[in-house]
A = this chain, B = another copy of it.
Amino acid sequence: MVLRLRLYSALYPSWGPICLFPRSFASCSGNPASCCTMPQLGLLHGRAWAVLFGQLRRPPGAVCIRAVHSHSQVAEAALATQLKPHQEKSNFIIKTPKGTRDLSPEQMVVREKILDMVVSCFKRHGAKGLDTPAFELKEMLTEKYGEDSGLVYDLKDQGGELLSLRYDLTVPFARYLAMNKVKKMKRYHVGKVWRRESPTIAQGRYREFCQCDFDIAGQFDPMIPDAECLKIMCEILSGLQLGDFLIKMSWKDVRHEMVAKKGLAAEVADRIWDYVQCHGGVSLVQQMFQDPRLSQNKQALEGLGDLKLLFEYLTLFGIAEKISFDLSLARGLDYYTGVIYEAVLLQTPAHAEEEPRNVGSVAAGGRYDGLVGMFDPKGHNVPCVGLSIGVERIFSIVEQRMKTFGEKIRTTETQVFVATPQKNFLQERLKLIAELWDAGIKAELMYKNNPKLLTQLHYCENTGIPLVVIIGEQELKEGVIKLRSVANREEVAITRENLVAEIQKRLSES
């Protein structure tokens, strides 16, 4: 058992500090209010010191108050021998849960840029926003994920409903559609999902990560929404400038669609595989139709119909060359019902000095025509097709690239710093900065009564603030403010009335 000693100030009037000796560190953070009942604390009123020790778990009756004020040294010494309070402090590890992480301000800037770009693409394609709770009723997620069901995080049964953290954004979307009887919807959703990935099978994967999903629900003419999803994948991956990429379609699914759904003979399907092994989307389909064994086979033509249609649309979108077929690709999740696709970055590094990276899939999607029906009491289905962008992987690529090139990231957007060269100018600085804030200008100052001018200017250089306004005795006397450009250190005096307009002019020019 780990035992610790902590000193805390009491939170109650007329009290001095209190020493706490919890027997179990985890059970007590040292806050007296949560370790003792108020009547017990009342016994110590007016005393300067107290030693509390014992079993600090609730109920609070278990707390012992042994020594007050003059007896504290004795008690402390006795306990120190017995409990070794100072030693094992390094055992107290502050960390985030396994597989999770904080995002630092630098990481947040990169993350936000990526998400902005992704969301603006989704909006460009007419998608509406939607949000769902982080957890669902456990039964909503049951039997949706096949082999992966064991990776769902369940909440503890604390009375009431049994809940699970969402595993993806697709199942909650289908639940939303069924619950609200929505038959048609194009929505995007950016949010965190949670998966209890085992670190042995998936090194470096996070257990909490962000997904960006775009989905089209509804009964439409074939392959039009499917083609748009692939177009969106291409727009996002091009827009993020991640280097060359390819979208791989699962051949197993394509074959199944043709054979099981369109009734194509298995031999004919396998003959088609001879073609699709060669990379190259539409030209490939054209080649196939020039093969008399296929083009003169009515069954083959019908079986190939959807594929032909899809590649026609992809050609019109100018992205057919980005699509290829893959024999090894298979649906990871149970709910997919059609062809699935995955976007992979190609391994040629953009710059010679960069290390080649193996990042695997950065986006995936497919059709799931049966999922909504699993929620609907009458089994009514709403056909759906969608895609999910794996922003964590994209994020780590962009982050690594920025590190390689030593790019400096600004973590604030502050435009103006309010500085003074003199002492006792806090009041003037506060008045001035309030004027800037009220005019919508992003401004900071130092929370010091008398900061040094050099410290203030250094702060601007270090954090990338472009402008400094300086107010001192001289400026106050002359009714002006000095406006300084951090980049070239040029200073001009401006009347107070014109200051905001001049700053806005400078900011709009830069």
Contact = CB atoms under 8 A, between A and B. Distances in A.
A412 B194 contact: no
B414 A28 contact: no
Nearest to A428: B316
Interface stretch (A61-69, A213-221, A501-509): A213-221
B442 A216 contact: no
A33 interface: yes
A6 to B, nearest CB: 6
A97 B161 contact: yes
A313 B426 CA distance: 9
B34 A149 contact: yes
A220 B108 CA distance: 26
A444 interface: yes
A424 to B, nearest CB: 12
Interface in A121-155: 123-137, 139-140, 142-144, 146-147, 149, 153-155
Interface of A: 6-16, 26-31, 33-35, 89-90, 92, 94-98, 100-105, 107-109, 111-112, 123-137, 139-140, 142-144, 146-147, 149, 153-158, 160-161, 163, 165, 175-176, 178-179, 187, 192, 194, 196, 208, 216, 218, 220-221, 224-225, 227-228, 231, 235, 252, 255-256, 259-260, 266, 312-313, 316-318, 331, 334-335, 337, 370, 374-379, 411-414, 426-427, 430-431, 434, 437-438, 440-444, 447-449
11 contacts: A13-B260, A31-B334, A103-B130, A126-B412, A126-B442, A134-B192, A155-B155, A155-B165, A221-B448, A317-B430, A318-B438
A-B interface, 5 closest residue pairs, ranked by CB to CB distance from nearest: A220-B447, A108-B129, A105-B128, A29-B143, A100-B133
